[in-house]
Amino acid sequence: MSEPATPVTFPPAFLWGAATSAYQIEGAVREDGRTPSIWDTFSHTPGKTAGGENGDIANDHYHLYRDDVALMAELGLTAYRFSVSWSRVQPTGRGPAVQRGLDFYRRLVDELLSHNIKPALTLYHWDLPQELEDAGGWPERDTALRFAEYAQIVGEALGDRVEQWITLNEPWCSAFLGYGSGVHAPGRTDPEASLRAAHHLNLAHGLGTSALRTAMPARNSIAVSLNSSVVRPRSQDPADLVAVRRIDDLANGIFHGPMLHGAYPETLLADTSSITDWSYVLDGDLSLINQPLDALGLNYYTPTLVGAAETAPNSPRADGHGASEHSPWPGADDVMFHQTPGERTEMGWTIDPTGLHELIMRYTTEAPGLPLYITENGAAYDDKPDPDGRVHDPERIAYLHGHLSAVRRAITDGADVRGYYLWSLMDNFEWAYGYDKRFGAVYVDYATQARTPKSSALWYGEAARTGALPSANTTE
């Protein structure tokens, strides 16, 4: 398909950002009072991560943050989404804050503001303090109560200078990869526990939102980032359409139902009734979860293709969420996941910008009047420096051009999308995949911690500076 004759331009106030998360980049895991999170424990458990790699050092952002912020400014970014390490701020997950931990985020925010980069703070990006996991983790109600206290602490410390707040990042992964399939920390494989975890993550979001409201100026924006799936049927056969509805409930409705509408889908409760009676949903919980939001974050990478099981329900799942004998889809063992056709990234995920447009338009209807941000979107490729030390990644440029064009089409179609956060600012610790998968616009040599902007970073920086997409055919 040829590119349009006129440039794809964005509204003047559109935010051009990049995203990271604490455990993936900070390192310094034992400095200034920080204690282990579930990802420290998981990554140090033999066999859990590729090559036994961990985030002990990662990108050493804890010490190099000034250089990293200067690089963002040099590229022309106008926003930066980062997460706070709960166990750096509140090492046991309860009690008073460690000021040395908060001071790091104060310095980071001040550095961003001094470069006219808008900070977007995510309170939870999967790194639960290990002591809270030892007490039962997200399947226990108390964890949601502890999260509200943590939110209050961070809100009071940084609410005067951070205006954009996100409670949770991808609670689906925390619940179902962490407690269902076990491919993420803490590595548990209990279908009932995964559903309990989902509810208590929802409760944490609601309680955390309320806590932030009391701790911060009213001008601040509070959101949540959902990795809502674009679930498509293999065919129009009624059995395949039922499979879509079941996975949509487990991927999407289980979170946006209570968060946006104050109720779980009745079909979800029925489909999972053999696993749990949902008695941990107490009177008043749904009202606590259903707090008014100022925005909604959407994370998108690839669509999901499903159908009714045929003759081999025990065949490997092609759901893109890692290999495990245990399913992250409780009550849906008879749904089959199929590889969608098309080009793929290094993660094996199909490249399909139409899914991003579809997702945006769905939530334009699902949450009318609620501003949207694309809080993650990006691709992993096998990036390597050339003999001159430059890193050319034309595949990522094409990926970004396609997906940002889909965002612009959605805006034209009436969606209120106010910003885009590229995943990721730089290569980092990619969870169970270790350092093998490179999502960054900036190449990181982990042996030297040298940062090299890839050609996609320069391309994206030009888009940020001009508000228009450069050609996808550039080599620089």
Beta strand pairing status for 372-377 and 164-169?
A: unpaired
Q: In this structure, are residues 418 and 15 in contact, taking their beta carbons and an 8 Å threshold?
A: yes
Please enumerate in sequence order all residues whose Cβ is within 8 A of that of 171, keeping only pairs 6 or more positions apart, or say none.
198, 201, 202, 205, 224, 226, 255
Q: Kind of pairing, strands 231-233 and 304-308?
A: parallel
Cα 431 to Cα 422: distance, rounded to the nearest angstrom: 18
d(CA 73, CA 69): 6
Q: How many CB atoms lie within 10 A of CB 161?
A: 14
Q: Do residues 118 and 78 make contact, with C-beta atoms less than 8 angstroms apart?
A: yes
Buried b or exposed e, range 240-257, using 16+ CB within 10 angstroms: bbbbbbbbbbbbbbbbbb
Q: Which active-site residues does the annotation give?
A: 170, 376
One-letter amino acid for residue 400 of the chain: L
Using CA atoms, how far residue 221 sits from 224, 226, 342, in Å, is 10, 16, 38
> To which H or E segment does residue 120 belong?
strand 118-124
Which residues is 9 bridged to in the sheet? Answer: 468
Q: Which helix (H) or strand (E) holds 443?
A: strand 442-445
